[in-house]
Amino acid sequence: MKTIKTSVLIPTGLHAGPARHFIQEAKKFPCLVKIRFRGREFDAKSMIGILGAGIAYGDMVEIVCTGEHEEDACSALAEFLCSTHGA
């Protein structure tokens, strides 16, 4: 299991378009990918999960990846969340 804590720097947070792009990125990896936010855990490959989390600009999240290519997945997803454009 690999975890990375990062701030969300996408101006709109993980809503609509950025959420869709984030999920597409997460689905590139075969490992299990979760986001921990405010004491809860969300499926990072699910639109309902991501939108339900309500992650906004500046929020601190933890990306948790378990399985094949977990390190690559964590790095790529953390980089995505740190981008200011969200795509």
Which residues are catalytic, by number? 15
Q: Are 14 and 22 in contact (CB under 8 A)?
A: yes
Q: What is the CA radius of gyration of the chain?
A: 11
Count Cα atoms within 13 angstroms, Cβ side, for 7: 5
Determine the average pLDDT of the residues in 25-53: 96
Q: Give the mean model confidence (pLDDT) for residues 22-40.
A: 97
Q: Per-residue confidence at 87, pLDDT binned at 50, 70, 90?
A: low
Predicted TM-score (pTM) of this structure:
0.92
Alpha carbon distances (Å) from 27 to 7, 8, 33, 73: 21, 19, 9, 9
